[in-house]
Amino acid sequence: MRSTSLRQSEDSNLFEGFGTLCSSWVNQIVAVQQGAEEAEAKLSYISSCKSEHERKKLGSYYTPTDVADFFCRELFIQNEVLDREDALSFLRKHHFVEPAAGAGALIFSLFKSFLSLGVTPDQLAQIELSVVDVNTSALAFVEKQIEALADAWNVSFEKIQLVRDDFLEAGLDNISRPYFFFGNPPFVANEKGQSPWKNIYADFLEKALKHVGEMGGVHFIVPLSVAFSRDYGALRTMIAGTGGTVCLSNFDNIPDTLFKSGKPSHTNTNKANSQRCTILTVLPGKPKRVLTTPLLRWSKKDRADLLGRSPEYFDVSDYSFDEQFPRPESQTVLD
């Protein structure tokens, strides 16, 4: 019979060994993220002429790695994914959909989040994921990175499907798992009469909300206008109508910006730098409440600190003054 101290020693060795493997898997994802960010400039273009104006007209604002990591950390926190068992349950519960994948920044950050909580590559390989984009080159890049990870880990991502299509026109199959939509949909104005919404992000969000069901979720980076603009009052009604938890983290665009590309039609520095953004989470199966942050502002030197932690959220569930999702500066202001 082995002594308790010997068993503890062996368990400790096993844990240390797993921790080393976990770090190795995470480091491989980090390398993929760095490659995706470096490739972003080329992948942002659909046309061979590399027109910057045309790229921005299509709303191709691909997500920096630090923003992607913040995005996925908040996704896990708001879904109460805090340890390995939570992560496995979350992974196995949903069919994930990235409707505008681009270079795959949010996909690889999601993978890293799972691995960081102790999910192994063979468990991660069971993820059900639809990767959607209109850009063939971007999809090919994502596919190549996933294949490289599969080879490195000796696994097969058999339940990942790449869909070269416009998300708004793509069919959503009847599946056994609830959908979880996560992404950074395009920010671009609709032509007059093309849609009931002024900006195409609202079309993406509306479609996701219509398919989310009671047990799914939506986690999108969208313009701040979702929180206050009269043009999207009906969209806020639709969001609130899901009956669950709504979370908004709100970001200004001065003095620093989340994205590195701006609007093509503006020479004004503030407007050209970037849209003001909200990371919006809609979880119909959670308790009914609305949580929101102040309008966050930061300098470049504070960027790592801001994106390295969870912001303060205020419970504004009872707010009904002007049909907005408010951005109170403090609890005193909210009161």
Question: Per-residue pLDDT tens for 94-104?
Answer: 999 999 999 99
Q: Confirm whether 106 is domain-assigned.
A: yes
Q: Does any domain span residue 321? A: no
In a domain, 219, yes or no: no
Q: Is the pLDDT of residue 46 over 50?
A: no
Q: Answer whether 0.85 is exceeded by the pTM.
A: yes
pLDDT per position as a tens digit, 210-251:
999 999 999 999 999 999 999 999 999 999 999 999 999 999
Q: Number of structural domains, the chain?
A: 1
> Is residue 243, in this structure, part of any structural domain at all?
no
Measured distance CA(262)–CA(51) in Å, rounded: 14
Secondary structure (DSSP) of 103-151:
T-HHHHHHHHHHHHTT--HHHHTT-EEEEEES-HHHHHHHHHHHHHHHH
Could you tell me the pLDDT band of residue 34, with boundaries at 50, 70 and 90? confident
Span 268-327, pLDDT tens digits? 444 444 579 999 999 999 999 999 999 999 999 999 999 999 999 999 999 988 999 999
- Rounded-to-integer distance, Cα 74 and Cα 290, Å: 15
Specify if 109 maps to a domain: yes
Residues 159/165/168/170 CA torsion (nearest 10 deg): -50
Q: So what's the pLDDT on residue 44?
A: 57
**What CATH number is given to the structural domain containing 115?**
3.40.50
Peptide bond into 255 cis (omega under 30): yes
Provide mean pLDDT across the span 329-333: 92
Give the domain extent around 98. 10-43+62-183
Closest CA to 126 of 164, 153, 98: 153
Task: State residue 296's pLDDT score.
Answer: 97
